[in-house]
Amino acid sequence: MTPEINAGDTAWMLAATALVLLMTPALGLFYAGLVREKNTLNTFMMCLAAIGVAVITWAVVGYSLAFDGDGPIVGGLGHAFLDGVTFEPRDGTTIPHILFMAFQATFCIITTALVAGAVVERMRFVPFLVFAALWSVLVYAVLAHWAFGGGWLQEQGTLDFAGGVPVEMGSGFSALAAALVVGARKDYGRQALLPHNAMYVLVGAGLLWFGWFGFNGGSGFSTDNAGVLGFVNTLLTPAVTLVTWFVLDLIRSRQVTAIGAATAVIVGCVAITPSAGFLSPGWAMVLGVVATFPCYAAIAWRPRTRVDETLDVLAAHGIAGLTGILFIGFFAQADWNGVADGLVFGDAAQLGEQALAAVVAPAYAFGMTWVLLKVLGALMPLRGPAREEAVGMDLVHHGEEAYPTGEGAILISTEAGVDERVPVAQPA
């Protein structure tokens, strides 16, 4: 018997899908604030481009590879071009299949945008578009199939509520590979490369948290307990991470930094993502403390290396996601989710299943991204000359500035055609 469509579930999932889509422009704001002024637009554009590109690849083939059938490595092509994705309920849910597809599309989008954080301020825009298209299929769709599309990780019992495997570890370890292949910015290690707008970073982080309620709250695909637990845990864990981060900041430098606070919100949200529907609220708060330490350490350590993984995708997403995935193995509680117990509640095998995912997903994401960018780099230059990097990606690739003054700018033509009058200085 196929279950009926449930109006309440469908209404919530429509809202949740819109919430998750908001996360990608929010990420654009977060990332754009962290880069230098001359790369503001380019950085935001990479996130915006991910929406365009990943929606198309998802509809054409990504969704099908992730969610059609239960082959161990990839799904089938039965849903290519959204064939058979209709108003009928998706198996195991009470929402229309087409809505399920749209909700999952927003995950593919934000994950693709996340990887951009590793290569901003230097990668050329067109190669990035090609990379985003291929990555969304070759890495994201494959990992999504493994973790929750019926693939081998799900088959052998790995738990991943809202995307610790494909979204968080997938983006984090791909980011490391991308940073290594594309190489460091020319000024890296020579100049102080400071965030140009801390307010964007804070506003972006706030909007990301807001969107995350759809991300985790929607991953139960209904308004029942799993979704509600996921929603509440998304409130608890980041709050605890935030305060823990404050304490670490205070111990380290006797000041509480704003950029650090914004990062802490992301780390908390990421850590609870895989485990949101599996932990009791109490353990979700403990996770907020536990996840802070490895991420804080990774962010403090990375700038001392030659690895210019520019916006710390690995530390904030890869490491936090990995922590969350492992945490399930210890503290999942069938009393709360009706699914499984972790080691502490009597099932040691669950930890083994989680640990396997924590090894295999990073390895695949890193390896595949490395190969993909090496091949792409052989076909087209991934970076422009050093001079273009010095001028900034905004002017070179978009012909625009984020903060034009208008002083000294002369109108040469409008949409109506070339202006025949004597050129005059444009009012600011």
Q: How far is the CB of 257 from other proteins (least distance, A)?
A: 24
Q: How far is the CB of 423 from other proteins (least distance, A)?
A: 8
Taking the least distance from each CB to other proteins, the nearer of 92 and 399 is 399
Taking the least distance from each CB to other proteins, the nearer of 378 and 410 is 410
Q: Does 420 bind other proteins (CB under 8 A)?
A: no
Q: Tokens 């111990």 appear where?
A: 251
Taking the least distance from each CB to other proteins, the nearer of 56 and 193 is 193
Distances (CA, A) of 56 to 15, 25, 80, 136, 180: 21, 18, 11, 10, 28
Q: How far is the CB of 40 from other proteins (least distance, A)?
A: 14
Q: How far is the CB of 406 from other proteins (least distance, A)?
A: 8
Interacting residue with other proteins among 404, 420, 421, 428 (CB under 8 A): 404
Taking the least distance from each CB to other proteins, the nearer of 37 and 70 is 37
CA gap 346, 328 in Å, rounded:
13
Using alpha carbons, select from 220, 212, 211 the residue that is nearest to residue 100.
220
Taking the least distance from each CB to other proteins, the nearer of 375 and 409 is 409
CA gap 162, 165 in Å, rounded:
9
Taking the least distance from each CB to other proteins, the nearer of 52 and 385 is 385
Sign of CA dihedral 372, 367, 219, 85: positive
Query: Which letter does DSSP use for residue 5 in this model?
Result: P
Taking the least distance from each CB to other proteins, the nearer of 251 and 412 is 412
The secondary structure element, H or E, covering residue 65 is helix 63-67
Q: Are 178 and 118 in contact, with CB atoms under 8 Å apart?
A: yes
Q: Does 409 bind other proteins (CB under 8 A)?
A: yes
Q: How far is the CB of 397 from other proteins (least distance, A)?
A: 12
Choose one: 164-172, 220-228, 231-239, 400-408; the region binding other proteins (CB under 8 A). Answer: 400-408
Buried b (16+ CB within 10 A) or exposed e, 128-162: bbebbbbbbbbbbbbbbbbbbbbbbbbeeebbbbb
Tokens of 373: 């960018």
Tokens of 223: 């308004």
Taking the least distance from each CB to other proteins, the nearer of 38 and 90 is 38
Taking the least distance from each CB to other proteins, the nearer of 378 and 428 is 428
Interacting residue with other proteins among 378, 408, 422, 428 (CB under 8 A): 408
Tokens of 150: 């019926």
Q: Are 300 and 352 in contact, with CB atoms under 8 Å apart?
A: no
Q: How far is the CB of 319 from other proteins (least distance, A)?
A: 32
Tokens of 152: 């081998």
Choose one: 130-138, 198-206, 359-367, 403-411; the region binding other proteins (CB under 8 A). Answer: 403-411
Q: Does 424 bind other proteins (CB under 8 A)?
A: no
What phi and psi, each to the nearest 5 degrees, are found at residue 54? -70, -30
Within residues 339-398, the interface with other proteins by CB under 8 A covers 387, 390-392, 395
Within residues 34-93, the interface with other proteins by CB under 8 A covers 38
Choose one: 261-269, 322-330, 372-380, 405-413; the region binding other proteins (CB under 8 A). Answer: 405-413
Name the H helices within 218-317: 225-253, 258-272, 281-301, 313
Choose one: 203-211, 338-346, 358-366, 411-419; the region binding other proteins (CB under 8 A). Answer: 411-419
CA gap 94, 26 in Å, rounded:
30
Within residues 180-239, the interface with other proteins by CB under 8 A covers 187, 190-191
Q: Are 381 and 127 in contact, with CB atoms under 8 Å apart?
A: yes
Tell me the three state secondary structure of residue 1.
Answer: coil
Taking the least distance from each CB to other proteins, the nearer of 60 and 395 is 395
Interacting residue with other proteins among 92, 378, 414, 420 (CB under 8 A): 414
Positions that interact with other proteins (CB under 8 A): 38, 187, 190-191, 387, 390-392, 395, 399-401, 404, 407-415, 423, 426
